[in-house]
Amino acid sequence: MDFFKEPKTILDLFTYDLTTFFYEDYKEVNSEEILDTVLIDYEKNLPWKEFDVFNRVVFRVFIEKTNITGTNHINVTFYADEGYTKEHIMKIVEKVTRITGIDDNRKGFWSSSDDENFEKGHVDRMWTLGKNENIYSLRLIYDKNDGLQLSILFFTNLLKQLGKL
């Protein structure tokens, strides 16, 4: 990431290059079969903290048994195990909103309702983006019991949209 350049896409927000995930050490942490789909979770600890809080990333790969030759669908989730504050969450919302605009609930930057939700122990923001068949989403969830996570849903669609797949 070029620190002197304004981010233009979701991927510009991260210093870790997600497209290199499978080139380095990772481990399989979960697998399950649901109907005709196999889900496999691969995890790695990040070499640094993204957004100063996310210390690990999980790729969830969906493999359709009936579509062997198709592209696998992937969700990417960053996890912050500890050390985050409301200010960290506010900063993430601000950076994402600067790139994407309002979220799915027509909310922009951090608001008083976000403050209220944070005090109640749960913040959930979702931005659905992309065009045509390349729709993807970015979801930020804070839950006082489950922690903080930032997900890119339909990551492969984001890569297609950006011409990186």
pLDDT tens for residues 16-46?
Answer: 999 899 998 999 999 999 888 889 999 999 9
Q: What is the DSSP string of 7-56?
A: --SGGGG-SS-GGGGGGS--EEEEEEEETTEEEEEEEEEEEEEETTTEEE
Give the residue extent of every domain in the chain. 10-162
To the nearest 10 degrees (0 to 180), the angle between helices 112-120 and 86-100 is 140
Whole-model pTM above 0.85? Answer: yes
7, 97 Cβ separation under 8 angstroms: no
- Identify the three-state secondary structure at position 105: coil
